[in-house]
Amino acid sequence: MMTGGRISLKYRFLYCTTPLLLFLALSLQTTVTATIVVLATNETFPDRLAAFGPSLSSSQGKLGYLMEPTDDPTGCQIVQPPCDDWVALVRRGGCSFVSKVRNMQNSGAIAVAIGDPDQTGWVTMYAPGDTSDIYIPSVFLAQREYQALKYLANFVDTPMMVLLLQIDNWLEWPLMHLVILIFVSPSIVMTFLYISFKLRQRQKLKQDLAPLHIVSRLAVRRFSREKMGENDAEECAICLEDYMDGEKLRVLPCRHTFHTFCVDAWLTTQKKFCPICKRDITTVPDSVHPEATRTIMALQL
Ligand SMILES: [Zn+2]
Ligand SMILES: [Zn+2]
């Protein structure tokens, strides 16, 4: 029964920790979502940050003028910068994502927004090889957002100021992460409950035992059949062996005696009570203590 309990606790512990580790591993891959804010209209356009290049700040972000390079709207070649602090709005296709970002970086852009003219889904832009030379952030826009921003940027004659921000919105995490979260939340609670239960159990066990320094201070005498009184026990109530002459006996404050090794082990590993009268050896009533002490002193060798 005891073994069964231990096994089930182990399984419960495994149940608690496995999804947690799984969750931590998967959460490292959490897709970061960003947004473009058009300052003139306060409209926001969700987008996705590239896997390469620097990330955006969620508080300050990147402020600049969103402009399409007229020489090459795909950003596949270096262009003349239209103004300072410009954010390049380029079309997907023609060359790789990272080539577009490199070209726009070399064209003086402070950030790049790559829009998909055909697809409505979001893509995380990856780049093979070394991308440590890229120091400007880049985001991917799905078809709807790309077309809306392109329309707005070309609608007014003056450059349109935008703010690129990073948002880590848990509502937009993939469904898998949410499912894992649902499993992990009770696991965390269960782990916490299990640990606090074990700590309470250990604390209680400690409270039930007598400290070694108190036990070692209790009186000891040697058994002598000649000197034994009328009420003195002849056998140890713990091991049920008869006392032999010269054996060391521990005398508890209640005056009950036992083999030293038997009662020391009992008090420090089982209970702090006398095995016969159940009196707590750590809290001796004043009325009992002086008399018991005197008797013990008289009995001590
Ligand atoms: Zn004994
Ligand atoms: Zn006793």
Question: What percentage of residues in the chain have a pLDDT greater than 90?
Answer: 53
C-alpha torsion angle, residues 257, 260, 264, 266 (rounded to 10): -60
Distance CA 227, CA 230 (A): 10
Instruction: Determine the distance separating the centroid of ligand 2 and the alpha carbon of 280, expressed in angstroms.
Output: 9
Mean pLDDT score of the chain, rounded to an integer? 83
In this prediction the pTM is: 0.49
The DSSP bridge partners found for residue 162 are 38, 64
Ligand at minimal distance from the CA of 237 is 1
Higher-confidence position of 28 and 233: 233
Residue 182 has a pLDDT of 82
Please give the class, per CATH, of domain 212-299: alpha beta
Task: Give 68-98 pLDDT, tens digit per residue.
Answer: 998 899 999 999 999 999 999 999 999 999 9
Token couple for 91: 């079309």
Distance 253 CA to ligand 2 centre (A): 7
Weakest mean pLDDT among 31-40, 157-166, 211-220: 31-40
Q: How many helices (H) and strands (E) does the chain have?
A: 7, 10
- CATH topology assigned to domain 31-170: Glucose Oxidase; domain 1 (3.50.30)
Give the Å distance between the CA of 263 and the centre of ligand 1.
Answer: 7
Residues less than 5 Å from ion ligand 1, measured at CB: 236, 238-239, 259, 262
Question: pLDDT at position 3, please?
Answer: 41
Give the domain ranges of the chain: 1-30+173-195, 31-170, 212-299
252 Cα–ligand 2 center, Å: 7
